[in-house]
Amino acid sequence: MALYESACRFDGLTVFDPFAGSGTTVVEAAKLGARVIGYDINPVATLVQRQAVQQWDIAELQRAYKLIEESCRPEIDRVHRAETGETVLYYFWVALALCPNPLCGKDVRLFSTHIFSKNAYPKRVPDAQIVCPICLDIIAGRYDFTSATCRNGHQVTSDGAVSRATVKCINCGTLTKVLDALNDHPPRYEMYAKLVLGKDGKKRYEPITDYDIALYGECTALLKENASTLVLPSGRLDDGENTRQALRWGFTEWRHFFNDRQLYSLGLLATALRELEAGPAEREALIALFSGTLEFNNMFCSFKGEGTGAVRHMFSHHVLKPERTPLEAHPWGTPASSGSFSTLFKSRLIRAHEYKSEPADQILRGNKVERVHGLSLPVEATITNACPSDGFSSRQIYLRTGDSSNTDLPDESVDLVITDPPYMDNVHYSELADFFYVWLRELEPFPECSKTSLAEDKPGELITTRSSNEVQSASPDAFEAAITRVWQECHRVLKSNGLLAFTFHQARLTGWVALARALAKAGFVVTAVQPVKGEMTTSVTKGGVEPSNLDAVVVCRKRATVTGGAVFTDPYAAANEGETRLSELMASGVSVGAGDIRSVIRGYVLATYTTDPQRQDIDEIAQLADELATERIAKLSAS
């Protein structure tokens, strides 16, 4: 803690992240004054990394933003107006499915609840908005209501037609699976409410009128009329672990993720960006901002409620999860908006510029956390996309879109490899990144993100960020083969006294086995394992049969440089060490569940395999790891 709270410097050290992702390692190493190298096989990730450290001329950035605003905002504003001329912040939609009963054949609105808006803290603020499933009247009520009557005399209860995966027709009572009712087609949607920003600055909920329907129809016509000149997403979804759910719902093309007004509005914004004449770094920053805007402006978004950021973005689940009651936001936005281009410009780009110039660190002082300036160096740097042959110059960072198993780094040139590799089958990033890439490839924000330079095998034909060399597979054998290649490259570029450290958690035993085998093949020995709190406890990625709250920080060195006393050799002693670490976390108030215990103990025990892989049977160690993990779950849960 004393080191963390001081102005530490890594002057002279070279830090390499082969899975650089959004650039956490890149930024933190730059703050410490290290020479920094970040590789990622996905161009969308590299685009984000660049914004984290790239120098911007703030005056040029603001000038470019104004040019974009002048080009497209008036029309985007116009198609998000109520008939009073007031701004509509959000439109509420509901998916429709046809009742399969041939004697009925009516549309069913796929509400799971008729409360469509409530406060994030309903016991404090009980006000809620209720929709009538029959006539779509809007009723002001409470979050805990049981029954209400709309202005047309219909009785409304809290429960909607959908319960989990089943829908009950409110007209005839027929029960069917939601997916069966959709019949392999994307759901049709119906607008049922809007949130208007009044001229008095107050927000009010209103039902949809004929004016709203006509305005949306105008957007459909304008989209068709201007499709040849607008930047729009193209391409089809490929089958994959994280696209399968969307495909089952009939979302086969990327444009299916947007309604016509979203496509028209976002198309106007993207076209303005494509034609923008501005500094390369500033143009790139605004294109990256546009990709962030896409997260909050599509038909996979939903309403979080009052008292919080209104839009729940589409990747809150780290998957492509279809939404039965999507929220359509104003893409340009107002100061009262959430997730819009204008609000994100201030909350992301302007704040990023301030942080890069003068980073703040969160330091524990007594029982309070304070933001302290001056401990870290500025992170603004000159970016190169090739390894400097004459060495790094001052404030230069090497960021590259490429295969981390085949770098251009010299032998034994890296002091530290710090990374967060994919966790085998958790989140397939390229499948999600394609959502952005189908827009970005038309804008070419930087050379390596162009349509041609990434397509090494098919120049000019790349339509996806997926790669056969990416380290991501539900198959343990494929995952092991891919990550082995990266660890071998890390071994080559790491100095003899260098250190490899990474975070990992895995619900499946086969994932830990694949990792241990890969490290051993690459010539690494695990010298330490430290469980730490990972994502927020409330993260949806921590759900499941045995939700996980912890990651393990795994520390490795080259086997040839490690003495026997510095490694794990006894599986039982390793399990005891893991138990001790977990007990310490529990004693300090960190939530530790069965999934955490199982993953961490497996990691500790399988670490012993890396000490002498030629003389050990990995299958026997894996079986023992599972048995010891089960024992520790019973022991620690009882305590």
How many Cβ atoms sit within 10 Å of the Cβ of residue 394? 6
Range 99-108 average pLDDT: 92
Q: Of 530, 622, 607, which Cα lies nearest the Cα of 574?
A: 607
- 363-397 tens-digit pLDDT: 998 889 999 999 999 999 999 988 988 888 888 99
Percent of the chain with pLDDT over 90: 77
Q: Could you say which DSSP state residue 338 is in? A: S
Range 122-140 average pLDDT: 96
Say if residues 194 and 212 touch (Cβ distance below 8 Å).
yes
Under the banding of pLDDT at 50, 70 and 90, the label for residue 422 is: confident
Under the banding of pLDDT at 50, 70 and 90, the label for residue 515 is: very high
- 624-636 tens-digit pLDDT: 999 999 999 999 9
Q: Of 371, 366, 292, which Cα lies nearest the Cα of 333?
A: 292
Q: Judge whether residue 48 has pLDDT over 60.
A: yes
Q: Judge whether residue 174 has pLDDT over 90.
A: yes
Please give the residue that has the higher pLDDT: either 203 or 507: 203
pLDDT the model gives residue 537: 46
Range 126-131 average pLDDT: 97
- State the pTM of this model: 0.91
Q: What is the DSSP code string of 263-298?
A: HHHHHHHHHHHHT--S-HHHHHHHHHHHHHHHHTSS
- 438-473 tens-digit pLDDT: 999 889 875 544 443 343 433 234 678 877 788 777
CA 632 to CA 187: how far, in whole Å?
A: 47
What number of CA atoms fall less than 13 Å from residue 356's CA on the CB side?
Answer: 25
User: DSSP H helical segments within 79-110, as ranges?
Assistant: none
Strand order, beta sheet including 382-384: 382-384, 396-401, 35-40, 14-17, 414-419, 494-504, 550-558, 524-533
CA 174 to CA 179: how far, in whole Å?
A: 14
pLDDT the model gives residue 429: 72
- 217-264 tens-digit pLDDT: 999 999 999 999 999 998 899 888 788 889 999 999 999 999 999 999
Q: Of 305, 86, 93, which Cα lies nearest the Cα of 202?
A: 86
Torsion (CA) 20, 23, 26, 32 in degrees, nearest 10: -140
Cβ-proximal residues to 112 (8 Å cutoff; 6+ apart), any chain: 159, 160, 161, 162, 163, 324, 325
Please give the residue that has the higher pLDDT: either 445 or 28: 28
How many Cβ atoms sit within 10 Å of the Cβ of residue 613? 18
Range 113-135 average pLDDT: 96
Range 14-36 average pLDDT: 96
In the predicted model, what is the mean pLDDT of the chain?
91
Q: Judge whether residue 302 has pLDDT over 60.
A: yes
Range 61-69 average pLDDT: 98
Lowest mean pLDDT segment, chosen from 22-26, 404-408, 550-554, 562-566:
562-566
Q: Judge whether residue 279 has pLDDT over 60.
A: yes
Percent of the chain with pLDDT over 70: 94
* CA-only gyration radius of the chain, Å: 27
- 586-612 tens-digit pLDDT: 999 999 999 999 999 999 999 999 999
Say if residues 208 and 193 touch (Cβ distance below 8 Å).
yes
Q: Of 5, 58, 49, 43, which Cα lies nearest the Cα of 24?
A: 49
Helices H / strands E in the chain, number of each = 16, 25
User: DSSP H helical segments within 193-349, as ranges?
Assistant: 210-226, 244-248, 260-274, 280-295, 341-344
Q: Judge whether residue 543 has pLDDT over 50.
A: no
CA 602 to CA 520: how far, in whole Å?
A: 16
Strands 414-419 and 14-17 come out as: parallel
Instruction: For 282-300, give one letter per residue: b (16+ CB within 10 A) or e.
Output: bbbbbbbbbbbbbbbbbbb
Backbone angles phi, psi at 346, to 5 degrees: -80, -45
Q: Judge whether residue 281 has pLDDT over 80.
A: yes
Place of tokens 């107002």: 334
Token pair of 615, please? Answer: 């003389």
Range 557-564 average pLDDT: 88
**Length of the chain as a residue count:** 639
Element (H, E) at 636: helix 618-638
Under the banding of pLDDT at 50, 70 and 90, the label for residue 535 is: low
Q: Of 286, 312, 317, which Cα lies nearest the Cα of 299?
A: 312
Q: What is the DSSP code string of 369-397?
A: EEEEESSS----BEEESS--TT-PPTTEE
pLDDT the model gives residue 536: 53
pLDDT the model gives residue 283: 96
